[in-house]
A and B are shown apart, each in its own frame.
Chain A
């Protein structure tokens, strides 16, 4: 490995390595550590582990705690009462938003994979010396804040914007044609914003495939398509899995795209949680919605792993 091991590529390769099946376990010899060394390990781990406990594990416990509170801001604040009714209330009042979020995120995930897979495949198999450069170009959007990119799509997709404006004045589009504030705008915004997250695990997985396997398949009289279907596609499944998780999970909770590009008819669950938390200070119900979202995503990840049945997928879902 030369420069490919470095820089931006490395960031994402390791970021997705987890989802592709975790790192290799330490070597056998390391498993017989002297007691002293083991103490050193805990000592080094300590500060970071404590911080993660404070900034990640305890908050997760406390959101569940908040979700079981009852009371009201005006009637003396919230108190913990094992109020499971919050879940029923939150779910029944918001199920249409959950449904819409799953639909939009699902559509965006499918479109993202359809767009990203051929690109990742071509780059990893055929781009040769341009591989690193092209890979870097996929990452370019990351250098501009997510919110700003979404705001720019708002201008790109505007009725008289740089995209539709000229088409309309040429008469190629009807004057009343509009995309903004529609589900199409929201889904295409989500697709755009999460596309690099789809492309990267796919690229990493495809790049890992030993290209000689494809040659072997062709030597055994497989056509190009057969070689792809029987060799490349199965071997890229861990990458597909990681791509689905990395796209679908954040897309479901997203509220930037539906706020900036949508209308009040495209409201997603993230907007509801945000409004309840930040505007209405209805903490218990907002927390309950977050917990439902978290559990839903966990179930989807585990179910996907089960259907897939591969060890990689199980590892990726953290089940192993």
Chain B
């Protein structure tokens, strides 16, 4: 970025007196940043390391003894955990797809149309993101109790779609607002119908926003604990199962699955980055 270039240029132009002072203090912040990044990743290191921990029992303990692949080969050994993982996936996929469809439409409208109710809609979207999760969880459970709806898979799915919509909507809205409207006008000048202009010009341009919204919704659903804990009843997802197990000690398979999900997440993010980098290069 140009701003950085400016900074670098002036740093080297400054006199020797400044450079000397820089030598003393210049390392504090980068070292601090490095330490912070290690700190942020610390529990992830522990998780990966302890998926290889050799132990006598079936529960993770704080002491690390090197090393076994046993937990990796026995990763399906705990039925409750398998069930919870299955539920997580069976919730996250449909929830993120539906939330992406609905949220994209909201984001599209908010980003480009002025209409009565735009302000309130933006406000509701903001509230849905800013509200403490436990309040939303209590509210959803209150509704299910009052409506005498059985809670379980259905209520989890319903709630996950609900809290993801707002996140997709703001992601898409930002993309739509950044759009150059003249491109669409040009398409219409070239005799494209509004629908053609949308599918051939607008949609490809906002697609990165939609994909980002989908991934965000998927991760939010997969990670959600509080709302699932409230509205899930006896049905567990991966996080709620781990929370329940943490009272008596988590089995090492949790670390195995945590490591797998972590690797998949990093891989997807990396791929998304590469793809969007490629497409932005092509566009340039």
Contacts and interface: CB of A to CB of B under 8 A. Distances in A.
Contact of B181 (A7, A27, A59, A147): A27
Interface residues of B, number: 113
A195 B102 CA distance: 30
B170 A256 contact: no
Contacts of A10: 171, 174, 208-209, 212
Given A155-B50, A211-B6, A215-B10, A30 B112 contact: yes
A198 to B, nearest CB: 11
Contact of A59 (B62, B109, B136, B277): B136
Nearest to A125: B7
Taking chain B's interface residues, is the majority helix, strand, or loop, or is none over half, making it mixed? helix
B115 A62 contact: no
B259 to A, nearest CB: 9
A297 B132 contact: yes
Interface stretch (A15-23, A84-92, A231-239): A15-23
Interface string B184-206: 00000000000000000000000
A14 B170 contact: yes
> Which among B114, B208, B229, B262 has the highest number of chain A CB atoms within 10 Å?
B114
Interface in A219-277: 245, 249-250, 252-256, 259-260, 270, 273-274, 277
Contacts, number: 338
Interface string B83-100: 000000000000000000
A309 interface: no
Contacts of B216: 11, 15
Contact of B113 (A38, A131, A301): A38
Contacts of B269: 7-8, 136, 143
Interface residues of A, number: 121
Contacts of B239: 145-148
B138 A26 contact: no
A255 B38 CA distance: 25
Contacts of A293: 132, 134-135
Contacts of A3: 273, 276-277, 280
A140 B44 contact: yes
A270 B134 contact: yes
A74 interface: no
B130 A318 contact: yes
Interface of A: 2-8, 10-11, 13-15, 17-19, 22-27, 30-31, 33, 37-38, 40-42, 44-45, 47-49, 51-52, 54-60, 62-63, 65-66, 115-116, 118-119, 121-123, 125-129, 131, 134, 136-138, 140-156, 158-162, 165, 192, 195-196, 210-212, 214-215, 218, 245, 249-250, 252-256, 259-260, 270, 273-274, 277-278, 283, 286-287, 290-291, 293-294, 297, 301, 318
8 contacts: A7-B212, A24-B177, A30-B113, A55-B158, A56-B162, A65-B146, A116-B36, A148-B239
Given A23-B111, A160-B62, 16 more contacts: A11-B215, A18-B129, A19-B130, A45-B106, A49-B106, A55-B163, A56-B124, A56-B166, A59-B136, A118-B33, A122-B29, A140-B41, A143-B265, A146-B223, A283-B142, A293-B132
